């Protein structure tokens, strides 16, 4: 079922031209690191594999957490034919051909596991092509995705699969994998007799963002840089690790879920008045290469949604930060954004304006056809005056308190109150002024003229 069958008798893991990460791929659950919540004793996926009842699955998790490896282990444990697809390269034609082959193989008692990497990249038609074969049991589908399958996998296919969430590996787990690679003479770097301090390996692990593949790649580069000194074996030093790393590769996808996770973390840290957390999440987005103007737009939104009139200066400061980013660019503009998020974090909070406008929108949906009251309409012509346009309008500036007792809402919304100022910051003064306006409106001097 593959165009490139392995050469008989050859051990693919011994091929030194393959990347270290591929050579060190675990062959059994005993070698597998991480995901104890899924494959530990008595855990759901481990039990399914033991009972040979894995069914169709979706593995959802960040890169380098073992999604492909788990699929291959399941195929080996269940003695199934393993066919691997890349959603980037395969189309409907290839899918239909493999499905037909799998259907014939089932007639001869051979089970087939079809593994689809990056299944979220398949469109709806491509995903639907798997449905009848999953339902009939011709194949067991295992999809891997870094994106939330609720949004990226169509509901019909998703309902026929069990979703398992894989977590980033811990630094300790990655250090364990790196030590194993340094000792393994068959598949790893054991033949090089390299020495690496715990500190050097911990540095690689801390810079890997929980991605084992990334950690293996750094170790392989570092191994190539290490040179023996006299009779001393080659050593992977902290300096060599730093050279191999160059710059930390942060886990981030501008179009994916992590993009929204990080901006959500920034927004909620600001809302919760935590400037340190806000600075951290801001830094994560900037250092990962997020568009600074996108961040600036969201920061402006925070100023009106969570601070509002409790501190009207917040909006002006955030607009200034946006202008600074646009004018001087990055990296200098990062301090303007940092200033803005710290200011928002320590500012008094109020969502009264945000809530008020939401109420207005709901009322507009049901009262959009309500006419403007006659006394609020201008009357530039004689006919309009005769029809009552502008009648009984009171000019507020002619009154002592500058407030007329006018009903300015449609009749069906008479006396409706949307905006409820809080006691936070400037809104306390706004609330007091609102109470004063109510008193002035009810006083005799503000009565509507006849």
Count Cβ neighbours within 10 Å for each residue of 172-200 and write b for 16 or more, e otherwise.
ebbbbbbebbbebeebbbeebebebeeeb
Cα–Cα–Cα angle for 413, 415, 416, rounded to 5 degrees: 60
* pLDDT tier, 245 (very low <50, low <70, confident <90, very high otherwise): confident
User: Is 0.75 surpassed by the pTM of this model?
Assistant: no
* pLDDT tier, 254 (very low <50, low <70, confident <90, very high otherwise): low
In the three-class reduction of DSSP (H, G, I as helix; E, B as strand; rest coil), residue 94 is classed as: helix
User: Please, are residues 158 and 149 in contact by the beta-carbon 8 Å criterion?
Assistant: yes
> Quick check: 424 pLDDT over 60?
yes
The per-residue pLDDT for 347 is 93
Edge-first strand listing for the sheet containing 81-86: 81-86, 112-117, 140-145, 57-60, 162-165
Cβ-based neighbour number of residue 361 at 10 Å: 9
Average pLDDT value for residue range 115-136: 81
User: Please, are residues 154 and 128 in contact by the beta-carbon 8 Å criterion?
Assistant: yes
CA–CA dist 409, 389 (Å, integer): 16
Average pLDDT value for residue range 33-40: 88
* pLDDT tier, 344 (very low <50, low <70, confident <90, very high otherwise): very high
Q: List the domains of the chain with CATH numbers.
A: 34-165 (3.40.50.300), 171-245 (1.10.8.60), 257-346 (1.20.272.10), 373-446 (1.10.3710)
CA–CA dist 221, 241 (Å, integer): 9
Count Cβ neighbours within 10 Å for each residue of 130-149 and write b for 16 or more, e otherwise.
beebbeeebbbbbbbbbbbb
The per-residue pLDDT for 80 is 80
**Highest mean pLDDT pick, 85-89, 123-127, 319-323:** 319-323
Average pLDDT value for residue range 394-402: 83
The per-residue pLDDT for 3 is 40
Cβ-based neighbour number of residue 428 at 10 Å: 15
User: What are the structure tokens assigned to 156, written together?
Assistant: 């019909």
CA–CA dist 338, 330 (Å, integer): 12
**Please, what is the end-to-end C-alpha distance for the chain in angstroms?**
92
CA–CA dist 47, 379 (Å, integer): 80
- DSSP labels, 377-397: S---SHHHHHTTTTTT---GG
* pLDDT tier, 14 (very low <50, low <70, confident <90, very high otherwise): low
Q: Between 333-346 and 257-271, two packed helices, what is the crossing angle to 10 degrees? A: 50
Residue with tokens 């194993």: 180
CA distances from 136 to 51, 56, 129, 347 (A): 20, 12, 13, 60
> Quick check: 448 pLDDT over 70?
no
CA distances from 126 to 120, 350, 387 (A): 10, 47, 65
The per-residue pLDDT for 257 is 64
> Quick check: 403 pLDDT over 90?
no
Count Cβ neighbours within 10 Å for each residue of 393-402 and write b for 16 or more, e otherwise.
bbeeeebeee
CA–CA dist 105, 232 (Å, integer): 56
CA–CA dist 78, 56 (Å, integer): 13
Nearest to 264 by CA among 303, 314, 298: 298
Cβ-based neighbour number of residue 202 at 10 Å: 17
CA–CA dist 422, 165 (Å, integer): 42
Query: In this predicted model, what pLDDT tens digit does every residue of 349-387 receive, in sequence order?
Result: 999 999 998 898 888 888 877 888 888 888 888 888 888
Query: In this predicted model, what pLDDT tens digit does every residue of 256-280 receive, in sequence order?
Result: 667 788 889 999 999 999 999 999 9
CA distances from 49 to 80, 166, 253, 334 (A): 12, 16, 32, 49
Element (H, E) at 112: strand 112-117
Runs of H (alpha helix) within 184-331:
198-206, 212-225, 238-245, 257-271, 275-287, 292-302, 313-328
CA–CA dist 310, 121 (Å, integer): 45
The per-residue pLDDT for 2 is 45
**Mean of the per-residue pLDDT values of the chain:** 83
- Longest Cα–Cα distance in the chain: 109
What's 153's DSSP letter? S
Q: Tell whether the torsion through CA atoms of 57, 94, 28 and 189 is positive or negative.
A: negative
What is the percent of the chain where pLDDT is above 70?
Answer: 89
CA–CA dist 237, 226 (Å, integer): 8
């Amino acid at each position: 079922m593959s165009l490139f069958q392995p050469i008989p008798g050859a051990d693919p893991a011994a091929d030194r031209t393959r990347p270290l990460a591929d050579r060190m791929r675990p062959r059994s659950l005993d070698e597998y690191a991480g995901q104890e919540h899924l494959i530990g004793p008595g855990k759901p996926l481990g039990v399914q594999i033991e009972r040979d009842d894995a069914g169709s699955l979706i593995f959802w998790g960040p890169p380098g957490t073992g999604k492909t490896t788990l699929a291959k282990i399941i195929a080996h444990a269940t003695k199934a034919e393993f066919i691997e697809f890349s959603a980037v390269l395969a189309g409907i034609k290839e899918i239909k051909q493999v499905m037909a082959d799998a259907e014939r193989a089932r007639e001869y008692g051979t089970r087939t596991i079809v593994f689809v990497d990056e299944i979220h990249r398949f469109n709806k038609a491509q995903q639907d092509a798997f449905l009848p074969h999953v339902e009939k049991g011709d194949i067991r589908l295992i999809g891997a995705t870094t994106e939330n399958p609720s949004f990226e996998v169509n509901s019909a296919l998703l309902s026929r699969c069990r979703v398992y969430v894989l977590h980033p590996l811990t630094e300790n787990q990655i250090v364990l994998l790196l030590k194993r690679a340094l000792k393994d003479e068959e598949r790893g770097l054991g033949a090089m007799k390299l020495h690496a301090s715990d500190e050097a390996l911990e540095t690689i692990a801390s810079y890997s963002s929980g991605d084992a593949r990334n950690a293996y790649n750094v170790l392989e580069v570092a191994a190539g840089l290490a040179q023996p000194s006299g009779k001393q074996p080659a050593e992977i030093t902290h300096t060599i690790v730093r050279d191999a790393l160059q710059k930390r590769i942060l886990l981030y996808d501008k179009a994916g879920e992590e993009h929204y996770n990080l901006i959500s973390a920034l927004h909620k840290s600001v809302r919760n008045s935590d400037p340190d957390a806000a600075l951290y999440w801001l830094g994560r987005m900037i250092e990962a290469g997020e568009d600074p103007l996108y961040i600036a737009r969201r920061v402006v939104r925070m100023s009106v949604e969570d601070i509002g009139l409790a501190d009207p200066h917040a909006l002006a400061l955030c607009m200034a930060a946006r202008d600074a980013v646009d004018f001087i660019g990055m990296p200098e503009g990062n301090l303007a954004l940092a200033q803005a998020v710290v200011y928002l974090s320590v500012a008094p909070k109020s969502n009264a304006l945000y809530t008020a406008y939401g109420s207005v929108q709901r009322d507009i949906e049901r009262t959009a056809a309500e006419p403007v009251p006659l006394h609020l309409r201008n009357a530039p012509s004689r006919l309009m005056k005769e029809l009552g346009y502008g009648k009984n309008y009171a000019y507020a500036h002619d009154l002592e308190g500058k407030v007329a007792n006018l009903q300015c809402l449609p009749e069906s919304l008479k006396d409706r109150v949307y905006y409820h100022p809080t006691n936070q910051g400037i809104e306390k003064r706004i609330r007091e002024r609102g109470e004063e306006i109510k008193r002035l409106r009810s006083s005799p001097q503000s009565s509507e003229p006849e």
